[in-house]
Structure 1
Amino acid sequence: MKDAFGTPQSLLVLGGSSEIGLATARRLVARRTRTVWLAGRPSPALEAAAAQLRDMGADARTVAFDALDSATHEMALGKVFAEGDIDMVLLAFGILGDQQHDEDQPLAAVRVAQTNYTGAVSAGLVCANALKNQGHGSLVVLSSVAGERARRANYIYGSSKAGLDAFAQGLGDALHTTGVHVMVVRPGFVRSKMTAGMTEAPLATTPDAVAAAIETGLRRRSETVWVPGALRIVMSALRHVPRPVFRKLPV
């Protein structure tokens, strides 16, 4: 159960080597989180992340999980919940893809969509049902401002995040009276390995800043969190820009 300050005692990170996921785990472990599950493809990076959390005092474990293998999600994640209640699930996996390449290689574009959307729908529902059966817990879903309005530069990635965002918002409504809290997090450009070498967008942020916003959102039981907060106003304006004008904007 969460403590009196709203900090989860146990955490499951889907996408266990995600920079935002690990930044969040470190931040929560530095508070009062004691049990952390890192779910991801087995790798030295996943084991190193767990070791780092153990060094901080957490009981950190790993579980094999592949976002693209939806048929295994119930079994893999069921093992985690069978070990005890989970106070918070962070859905942090996703891939950016390469827009120019993926337009010419449809199967590559499908992989982006399957990872970011269908894989997330599968894992999200498995975890949501487990949290519902517990009668408590938070499901935090990493969306993106890219899903707010499709842009020429990354509409494949953006459309996958738009689907994920809509799914998570609807799931939150469906679970509203069950004791389960769903929070959608919409970061802007995040300085990370995934965006290395890319031209930085205005209002860029960091994994640590996103982690701080997640912690604050949990404490407030927010339903939607923008990182940084100014993006709420920016994206509200961009949503209403006429399409002929929007096409000409350097976004």
Structure 2
Amino acid sequence: MTKVLILGATSPIARALALRFASDGARLYLAARNADEARRVAEDVSVRAGVAALSGTFDASDFASHDEFVRHAAGQLGGLDGVVVCFGTLGDEEVAQTDPDAALATIHQNFTGAASLITLAARHLEQQRSGFIIVIGSVAGERGRKKNYVYGSAKGALATFAQGLRGRMTASGVHVMTVKLGTVDTRMTWGREGALLTITPSRAADLIYAAYRKRAEVVYLPWYWRLIMGAIRLIPESRFKRISF
């Protein structure tokens, strides 16, 4: 039985992914900032999939608590075979661009908190020489846009971190997959630009799980975002800085 820790388990994509894993018989530890909501998600997954799911809490910005949290989750699961990193927040970009505290809060929630937790989980998986890590990021990290560069820089750093980790973990047989999501129809993105290119959380989860089963390494979801971001990367900086999107 595969033992999986899902971080940010109350997000719509994480909930859908939890059902995919549970339906294949995985034992799950579903963790989020809100303990009551994490427990409700675990209960729902248990009922729907017929596999007991555990729940717990973590704080991405409380770095000192991360080691004990990962140890506890692995102990509750009876081992650890995989980690799915689903948490993050858009934050208030307008405030973050002028307030260092707000900027750091966005960066901690999207990068440094994830880097801390991933490092601890990777150490465990590396020692047992097996397992997987799925890092769900964003196409916003592909290039620094004037409208969301605080959030985008955190996601860009996360993708670079995962890329380096993937190279390091290859020798240990640990699979690291980076997911670069386009716009998904969730509360976090409601009302923002790009609505015509959105996909549902359920569809995103299907594509992520299929890519995981194929042991993909870097996945753009939906696929056309690879083409879109490829074109955006080709725009010269002298022109790109004048674009308002």
Residue 4 of structure 1 is matched in structure 2 by none
Gaps of 5+ in 1: 2-8
Displacement of 1:53 in angstroms is 0.8
1:13 pairs with 2:6? yes
Displacement of 1:202 in angstroms is 4.6
Residue 112 of structure 2 is matched in structure 1 by 118
Q: TM-score, normalised by structure 1?
A: 0.92
Residue 33 of structure 1 is matched in structure 2 by 25
Residue 57 of structure 2 is matched in structure 1 by 64
Contact 1:184 1:223 in 2 (8 A): yes
1:138 to 118, 125, 132: 132
Displacement of 1:174 in angstroms is 0.4
Residue 45 of structure 1 is matched in structure 2 by 37
2:236 to 211, 233, 242: 242
Residue 165 of structure 2 is matched in structure 1 by 171
- State the one-letter code of the partner of 1:200: G
TM alignment of 1:171-210, pairs within 5 A: 171-210=165-204
- State the one-letter code of the partner of 1:45: E
Displacement of 1:34 in angstroms is 3.3
Contact 2:60 2:114 in 1 (8 A): yes
C-alpha distance in 1 between matches for 2:97 and 2:55: 35
C-alpha distance in 2 between matches for 1:44 and 1:197: 27
C-alpha distance in 2 between matches for 1:239 and 1:100: 24
Secondary structure at the counterpart of residue 193 of structure 1: coil
Displacement of 1:250 in angstroms is 4.8
Secondary structure at the counterpart of residue 90 of structure 1: strand
Residue 103 of structure 1 is matched in structure 2 by 97
User: How many aligned residue pairs are there?
Assistant: 243
Contact 2:38 2:57 in 1 (8 A): no
Residue 55 of structure 1 is matched in structure 2 by 47
Contact 1:85 1:134 in 2 (8 A): no
Secondary structure at the counterpart of residue 17 of structure 1: coil
Residue 6 of structure 1 is matched in structure 2 by none
Distance 1:176 1:34, change over 3 A: closer
Secondary structure at the counterpart of residue 220 of structure 2: strand
Deviations 1:194-218 (A, max 9, x none): 1122233452222112211211111
Q: CA RMSD in A?
A: 1.5
Deviations 1:93-140 (A, max 9, x none): 111111112223221111001111111110000111111122211100
C-alpha distance in 1 between matches for 2:228 and 2:97: 28
Higher helix fraction: Structure 1 or Structure 2?
2
- State the one-letter code of the partner of 2:29: W
- State the one-letter code of the partner of 2:233: R
Instruction: Give % identity.
Output: 37
Displacement of 1:153 in angstroms is 1.0
Residue 151 of structure 1 is matched in structure 2 by 145
Contact 1:81 1:130 in 2 (8 A): no
1:227 to 203, 206, 221: 221
Q: TM-score, normalised by structure 2?
A: 0.94
C-alpha distance in 1 between matches for 2:25 and 2:144: 37
Gaps of 5+ in 2: none
Contact 2:14 2:86 in 1 (8 A): yes
Displacement of 1:188 in angstroms is 0.5
